[in-house]
Structure 1
């Protein structure tokens, strides 16, 4: 299975896209219990608390087979390290999140594990067209959305930053 780090709006959308494209699902990792629950409700194969001391062992047990792909939608040192560590030889780590920090692994491990590390920030026109086709076919499950008044934009950003919202916030006039 694929492992997705982050069960916010982007993580839930990634899970929905994966399933719409014919994937069997993903194991979703998040430190927030509410977000893990939202991922389970969205059809995650399993969830793992990324802050658990045995998170790596939990991932291996829940995968039941070698993990060949990780999508890190958080992009901090802890998630990137855990994603790197859980990958099987020849696996692929796609880093999307921008929380920052340094690459926490020793460089010789990349060729030893034969891992591909790829960054992804914005797709291209072909990918956008394919995404719109999936939306038109209604194969993408909606993610939770919290509507907030435009006057509470700062509060909405703080809620998102502190993980108090599951899914996305939409500001309405």
Structure 2
């Protein structure tokens, strides 16, 4: 019998002063058995940092034709293609052709993530942004994860203040360009 996804709940207070987004909401996040905690946490942060009307988690690892996080308009058209981790150039090309905005959030070394894309055909590569966090930030937050979580996240001038279950961590959000 296959092992099912583990459900994590997050009660979130988001204050993104850089974008003027202030929301309180609850999320249920399914972590696939093959998904690491670091990947799931990065996926959660990507969701929060891209929070807008129409944002949603996709089917995740079981869906090969959607990113980890997707933004749809009221007609269902994909307007935001948000990858997590280290997607290949073909996925970025596909997502950039489909959506108005394509970004990647990674918990890995961004130089190593972007190196395989060099010389590959990626639609509007100059418009794609890769976001990373300070080394060790994700690794410090992972042990704080529980099945039921309380998250307060504040973003000011590209600095992320994350309170996860009573422990506060801080990181700069680093932006990298492909072009």
Tell me the TM-score normalised to structure 1 length: 0.37
Higher alpha-carbon Rg: 1
Tell me the TM-score normalised to structure 2 length: 0.36
Higher helix share: 1
